[in-house]
Amino acid sequence: MIFKIEDVTVYFPYENIYPEQYEYMVELKRSLDAKGHCLLEMPTGTGKTIALLSLITSYRLSRPDSPIKLVYCTRTVHEMEKTLAELKLLHEYQVRHLGSQAKILAIGLSSRKNLCVNPKVLAAENRDSVDAACRKRTASWVRALSAENPNVELCDYFENYEKAAENALLPPGVYTLEDLRTFGKNRGWCPYFLARHMVQFANVIVYSYQYLLDPKVAGIISKELQKETVVVFDEAHNIDNVCIEALSVSVRRVTLEGANRNLNKIRQEIDRFKATDAGRLRAEYNRLVEGLALRGDLSGTDQWLANPALPHDILKEAVPGNIRRAEHFVHVLRRLLQYLGGRLDTDNVEKESPVSFVSSLNSQAGIEQKTLKFCYDRLQSLMLTLEITDTDDFLPIQTVCDFATLVGTYARGFSIIIEPYDERMPHIPDPILQLSCHDASLAIKPVFDRFQSVVITSGTLSPIDLYPRLLSFNPVVSRSFKMSMTRDCICPMVLTRGSDQLPVSTKFDMRSDPGVVRNYGKFLVEMVSIVPDGVVCFFVSYSYMDGIIATWNETGILKEIMQQKLVFIETQDVVETTLALDNYRRACDCGRGAVFFSVAR
Amino acid sequence: MSNQRKRLNGEREEDDEEDAEGIGEWERAYVDDRSWEALQEDESGLLRPIDNSAIYHAQYRRRLRILSAAAAGTRIQKGLIRYLYIVIDFSRAAAETDFRPSRMAIMAKHVEAFIREFFDQNPLSQIGLVSIKNGVAHTLTDLGGSPESHIQALMGKLEALGDSSLQNALELVHEHLNQVPSYGHREVLILYSALCTCDPGDIMETIQKCKKSKLRCSVIGLSAEMFICKHLCQETGGLYSVAVDEVHLKDLLLEHAPPPPAIAEFAVANLIKMGFPQRAAEGSMAICSCHKDVKIGAGYTCPRCKARVCELPTECTICGLTLVSSPHLARSYHHLFPIAPFDEVPTLSSLNDSRRKLGKCCFGCQQSLLGAGNKQGACVTCRNCKHYFCLDCDIYIHESLHNCPGCESIRRPKSVSLMEE
């Protein structure tokens, strides 16, 4: 259907629209007009995605002289696929009604693992090894080397893409990850680099939160986005968690050992270079002396990860003298590793602020704060100079440098926590040092400042006025919508009392009460004897589920349940759970009936 | 499958909404009869009696219209010679008392009524009984045409214990029905009161086997709708319904009494040999082949082997010939050529109607058609003979008689009467 909201003609690809979808679109349009941020809550299943997409694309169509870009952030790859599918439908509808002026370019962007079409690279097992295998074939020095040495293996798709240069363009349309792969395979171009290149030209980009919020990734992918962009965070109820995780680092013993190994390897490489091509190291030294920025003169494909600190917090100064030479830098890192190892050797839980940590680091290991701030950049430059391509092996040292940079840059909003034991296995010493960020607004502040409109939407944003305070921004619109109940939906019933009129709840303090456990058990037995086929029972946590099932077993309730139906329990092991789920389905289908105990996460 | 309740009394809907949980078993029996709540007052404050029959009749006509709309004038092939196995679940769930006095007792009572009705409408068919007890299926009676023996075997032992196994029942029935001649239609009616089935093997395979042997399985559930029963009925082309109370159960059971439509590729036209025995002379003595005893007088003689049988329809025990009499065939005939529903006469067309042939009496029972105050009461008319009938006669003609008296009483000179079409 096509209708007007104030001055915007909205193209909605379905025949019917829910009243709450319409209101949602009106509020969204108003916040776009005001060029401000907004918080919108609408229950899941009411068609938020299509409402957002259709309004924003129609808004763009109605203002052709000031085109806006849409950046749609989702949590998982699956959600990305769903969004692109909806967008395809919408795009077809709009093109049908408006003709070719409605054509847009929409792409989904994900990691190399999801977009690579080179079978040899894809054979690597995890995301980091895929990245390393790709780098091995596409790094600029490798390509330079292959011109002389034909035995060096390159990636054909990347080579074709580079050859096509400016002609490497995607025709207008909506491209899911699958479509990108197909296109890349047909043309012989690398889909990943093509998609990254097309980010500047695309009208709609769909990717995951990390690409905007995590400074390490955002510095590479999203640095060229213009101001007139609408950023949508979908399913954003956990966005504060994502922001916090983006700026938190944890270091374990195993990390330190890996970092030591990495340093040894780097040392070997430095010695090798000193013997064969000392000029390269000297050139790097000169560059650092002149304070040339470590970003900017690198080709985009060589840059592997960006600085973990936020862009405006990165000091734009020359790298300090005590780490300009490669060997000195390695020494500094070794001292840092020793100090961290010493700190991990503790028996109590310790908590410290970054300032005191840095000062004790200074007094014990002689490393200044300014040195720490440049750790990351220096490591980056060193690895490029040494032409290291096995980036997946060097993750530990990179983690340590991340840690050092963050702890040197930020004084407020972080703390350092050292725990001697892992909480899951309290008897085995496995110390962990965590730099945790407390302030969710740190990571998202650049997004709010940089872009014209940020839309935070979810099905569950209550309490909604908490978010502006958490993320420290001022929304122009902050609204919650209700779902209209004229359609078939599942209506939940909340049980507050058991059959003997005792109040029941899964609150933490009431969990171990035998009356509550018995009431829940009796309730489940009654349900199981009346409901045919399958029953699914969700618990709050694994520990609660284990405890309550053990109690039910002792009191004989579990036996009564098993007389009526078979019992399947979810565990934390994926294979076991998949097997249990499969058998549960078979039991329901063949009439035996089953109960599935699982955890709602 | 349909869980819709036929509202014989329109007021029942309000009752159910009010007393959703509170209506006890004992109250349900009076739900229909709460006539004191349904009283209305007319203009002068006097009580007006409720005309239930009009509502009942409208109900009935609606049902008939649906049925004949489905037939839509086309002749549907139906299986007249049916071999039906009734499987009753006597697992521990049958001892539940949500049907008074227990599910078992109600099932037995209604199955008895069903058996009688079944043989009434399908005289050429045979029934067998199977029970499921303790997870094992037992044959209570083999396929036979005499209602008494089935009812006796059923009422014999009524006890419920153990689990229920759908697969075992299907396997047993499949084994029995495989021996049935190919012109017979194989059907199974399962009365399932349990909520699950404990099977020894893969029930899907058994369902496929039944489907291949052209077994039409229908299920009437007494507890809740189960996926496996739905699947079974969908695969084999049967009906799945779940009874919500006793009256509903009776209606659902009786729905299975008239023959179902036959599946085209399975219903091959065959010539079937049947015998029409003569009645034996009074006073003749013979050894009866069913009782193995000397009997005098009343009985029939098989035309092929001259053995004596006591009642019809039956299969001659000596030579295996199906023995029927012509009224039996006639009774089966009306399933194939159902009588068309009568048209309603709009009550506003008063006696000013030009057709004076209207008369003031129902053609069937000769009672006056005029209702209160000399106004024309509700009546219906047959399309073919144009006679008028009252509502009661309409119901009687369509449910029991299956022939329109007006059409039958028109004199036809020697041509085959096409009136029944």
Size of the A and B interface in Cβ pairs below 8 Å: 43
What is residue A535's predicted lDDT score, i.e. its pLDDT? Answer: 94
Residue of chain A with shortest Cα separation from B198: A592
A144 touches B at CB < 8 Å: no
**Contact state of A592 with B199 under an 8 Å Cβ cutoff:** yes
Alpha carbon of A536: minimum distance to chain B alpha carbons (Å)? 16
**CA–CA distance, A366 with A378 (Å, rounded to integer):** 18
Residue of chain B with shortest Cα separation from A588: B227
Dihedral angle over CA of A343, A345, A351, A356, nearest 10: -20
Average pLDDT over residues A516-536: 92
A463 upstream amide cis, omega within 30 of 0: yes
What is residue A1's predicted lDDT score, i.e. its pLDDT? Answer: 87
Average pLDDT over residues B39-61: 70
Comparing A314 with A393, the larger pLDDT belongs to: A393
Span A57-99, pLDDT tens digits: 999 888 888 888 999 999 888 889 999 999 999 999 998 888 8
The confidence band for A120, taking pLDDT boundaries of 50, 70 and 90, is confident
Alpha carbon of B83: minimum distance to chain A alpha carbons (Å)? 27
Alpha carbon of B236: minimum distance to chain A alpha carbons (Å)? 16
* Residue A389 confidence (pLDDT) above 80: no
Q: Does residue A426 share a domain with residue A515?
A: no
* Residue B354 confidence (pLDDT) above 50: no
Angle, alpha carbons A146-A149-A154 (nearest 5°): 35
Residue A354 lies in a domain: yes
**Contact state of A532 with B225 under an 8 Å Cβ cutoff:** yes
* Residue A18 confidence (pLDDT) above 70: yes
Chain B residue numbers touching A533 (CB-CB < 8 A) = 226-227
Name the burial class of residue B212, with classes exposed (0-12), middle (13-18) and buried (19+) by CB atoms within 10 angstroms of its CB: exposed
Which has the minimum average pLDDT: A554-563, B232-241, B278-287?
B278-287
**CA–CA distance, A215 with A308 (Å, rounded to integer):** 5
What is residue B347's predicted lDDT score, i.e. its pLDDT? Answer: 61
The percentage of residues in chain B with a pLDDT greater than 70, rounded to a whole number, is 77
User: How many independent structural domains does chain A possess?
Assistant: 4
Comparing B52 with A482, the larger pLDDT belongs to: A482
Residue A316 lies in a domain: yes
Q: Does residue A334 share a domain with residue A254?
A: yes
What is residue B26's predicted lDDT score, i.e. its pLDDT? Answer: 65
Name the burial class of residue B318, with classes exposed (0-12), middle (13-18) and buried (19+) by CB atoms within 10 angstroms of its CB: middle
* Residue B13 confidence (pLDDT) above 50: no
Q: Which residues contact B206 (CB under 8 A, 6 or more apart)?
A: B167, B170, B171, B174
DSSP for A16-28?
A: ---HHHHHHHHHH
Q: Does residue A211 share a domain with residue A194?
A: no
* Residue B121 confidence (pLDDT) above 70: yes
Average pLDDT over residues A513-520: 90
The confidence band for B299, taking pLDDT boundaries of 50, 70 and 90, is confident
Residue of chain B with shortest Cα separation from A565: B196
**CA–CA distance, A198 with A211 (Å, rounded to integer):** 15
Chain B residue numbers touching A590 (CB-CB < 8 A) = 197, 199, 202-204, 228
**CA–CA distance, A63 with B4 (Å, rounded to integer):** 55
Q: Between residues 521 and 560 of chain A, which touch chain B (CB distance below 8 Å)?
A: 529-533
In b/e form, how buried is each residue of A537-570, taking b as 16+ CB within 10 angstroms? bebeeeeebeebbebbeeeebbebbeebbbbbbb
Chain B residue numbers touching A564 (CB-CB < 8 A) = 195-196
- Which of B195, B197, B229 should be substituted to probe chain A, the one whose Cβ sees the most A Cβ atoms within 10 Å? B195
Q: Say which of B196, B223, B224 has its CB closest to residue A591.
A: B196
Alpha helices in A44-176 (DSSP H): 48-62, 77-98, 112-115, 119-122, 127-138, 140-148, 156-164
The confidence band for A274, taking pLDDT boundaries of 50, 70 and 90, is confident
For residues B88 and B111, the answer to whether their CB atoms sit within 8 Å is yes
**CA–CA distance, A217 with A308 (Å, rounded to integer):** 8
- Segment (H or E) for A527: helix A514-530
Q: Which residues contact A598 (CB under 8 A, 6 or more apart)?
A: A536, A537, A538, A539, A569, A570, A577
Residue A443 lies in a domain: no
Tokens of residue B117, six digits? 């009705």
For residues B80 and B122, the answer to whether their CB atoms sit within 8 Å is yes
Residue A492 lies in a domain: no
Q: Say which of A529, A564, A592 has its CB closest to residue B197.
A: A592
* Residue A231 confidence (pLDDT) above 70: yes
DSSP A569: E
Alpha carbon of B180: minimum distance to chain A alpha carbons (Å)? 28
What domain range is A89 assigned to? 1-104+203-237+459-486
* Residue B25 confidence (pLDDT) above 70: no
* Residue A367 confidence (pLDDT) above 60: yes
CATH code for the domain in which residue A94 is found = 3.40.50.300
A64 touches B at CB < 8 Å: no
Select from B217, B172, B164 the least CA-distant residue to B192.
B164
What is residue A419's predicted lDDT score, i.e. its pLDDT? Answer: 87
* Residue B49 confidence (pLDDT) above 70: no
Q: Does residue A160 share a domain with residue A13?
A: no
Q: 3-state DSSP call for residue B383?
A: coil
Q: Which domains does chain B have, with CATH numbers?
A: 77-266 (3.40.50.410), 274-336 (no CATH), 343-349+360-408 (3.30.40.10)
DSSP for B74-123?
A: SPPPB-SSEEEEEEEE-SGGGG-SSSSS-HHHHHHHHHHHHHHHHHHH-T
Alpha helices in A345-478 (DSSP H): 354-365, 369-373, 375-385, 395-409, 441-450, 466-471
- Distance, CA of A182 to chain centre: 25
The confidence band for A161, taking pLDDT boundaries of 50, 70 and 90, is confident
Which has the minimum average pLDDT: A268-282, A315-329, B112-126?
A315-329
* Residue A601 confidence (pLDDT) above 70: no
Comparing B360 with A247, the larger pLDDT belongs to: A247
- Segment (H or E) for A11: strand A8-11
**Contact state of A591 with B226 under an 8 Å Cβ cutoff:** yes
The per-residue pLDDT of chain B, averaged, comes to 79
Angle, alpha carbons A305-A307-A312 (nearest 5°): 140
ipTM comes to 0.73
Q: Does residue A132 share a domain with residue A65?
A: no
Q: 3-state DSSP call for residue A59?
A: helix
**CA–CA distance, B377 with B367 (Å, rounded to integer):** 12
Alpha carbon of A529: minimum distance to chain B alpha carbons (Å)? 8
* Residue B182 confidence (pLDDT) above 60: yes
Q: Which residues contact B330 (CB under 8 A, 6 or more apart)?
A: none
Neighbours of A340 (CB within 10 A): 22
Domain edge (last residue) among A382, A405, A438: A438
Alpha carbon of A531: minimum distance to chain B alpha carbons (Å)? 7
A563 touches B at CB < 8 Å: no
The per-residue pLDDT of chain A, averaged, comes to 86
Q: Does residue A230 share a domain with residue A138?
A: no
Chain B residue numbers touching A589 (CB-CB < 8 A) = 227-228, 231
Residue A447 lies in a domain: no
* Residue A297 confidence (pLDDT) above 60: no
A500 touches B at CB < 8 Å: no
Q: What share of chain A is helix, strand, coil (3-state, %, to 5)?
A: 55, 15, 30
Residue A444 lies in a domain: no
* Residue B374 confidence (pLDDT) above 50: yes
- At CB < 8 Å, which residues of chain B contact A? 166, 195-199, 202-204, 223-229, 231
Average pLDDT over residues B203-215: 92
Span B306-331, pLDDT tens digits: 888 888 888 888 888 888 888 888 87
For residues B148 and B182, the answer to whether their CB atoms sit within 8 Å is no
Q: Does residue A100 share a domain with residue A26?
A: yes
Angle, alpha carbons B45-B47-B53 (nearest 5°): 140
What is residue A71's predicted lDDT score, i.e. its pLDDT? Answer: 93
Chain A residue numbers touching B204 (CB-CB < 8 A) = 590
Name the burial class of residue A16, with classes exposed (0-12), middle (13-18) and buried (19+) by CB atoms within 10 angstroms of its CB: exposed
Q: Does residue A210 share a domain with residue A194?
A: no
Residue A86 lies in a domain: yes
For residues A187 and A161, the answer to whether their CB atoms sit within 8 Å is no
**CA–CA distance, B420 with B115 (Å, rounded to integer):** 28
DSSP for A140-197?
A: HHHHHHHHH-TTS---HHHHHHHHHGGG--PPSEEE-HHHHHHHHHHHT--HHHHHHH
* Residue B238 confidence (pLDDT) above 50: yes
What is residue B24's predicted lDDT score, i.e. its pLDDT? Answer: 66
What is residue A116's predicted lDDT score, i.e. its pLDDT? Answer: 87
Please tell me the pTM assigned to this model: 0.61
What is residue A305's predicted lDDT score, i.e. its pLDDT? Answer: 66
A588 touches B at CB < 8 Å: yes
**Contact state of B195 with A530 under an 8 Å Cβ cutoff:** yes
Alpha carbon of A528: minimum distance to chain B alpha carbons (Å)? 10
For residues A13 and A54, the answer to whether their CB atoms sit within 8 Å is yes
Looking up tokens 């489905």, which residue turns up? Answer: B70
Residue A242 lies in a domain: no
Q: What share of chain B is helix, strand, coil (3-state, %, to 5)?
A: 35, 20, 45
Chain A residue numbers touching B196 (CB-CB < 8 A) = 532, 564-565, 591-593
The percentage of residues in chain A with a pLDDT greater than 90, rounded to a whole number, is 28
A188 touches B at CB < 8 Å: no
- Which of B98, B207, B228 should be substituted to probe chain A, the one whose Cβ sees the most A Cβ atoms within 10 Å? B228
Comparing B230 with B73, the larger pLDDT belongs to: B230
**Contact state of A532 with B227 under an 8 Å Cβ cutoff:** yes
**Contact state of A533 with B226 under an 8 Å Cβ cutoff:** yes
- Which of A529, A590, A592 should be substituted to probe chain B, the one whose Cβ sees the most B Cβ atoms within 10 Å? A590
What is residue B243's predicted lDDT score, i.e. its pLDDT? Answer: 92
Q: Does residue A544 share a domain with residue A558?
A: yes
Q: Does residue A126 share a domain with residue A89?
A: no
Q: Does residue A326 share a domain with residue A432?
A: yes
What is residue A292's predicted lDDT score, i.e. its pLDDT? Answer: 58
* Residue A13 confidence (pLDDT) above 50: yes
Q: Does residue A257 share a domain with residue A212?
A: no
What is residue B356's predicted lDDT score, i.e. its pLDDT? Answer: 43
* Residue A296 confidence (pLDDT) above 50: no
Average pLDDT over residues B376-404: 80
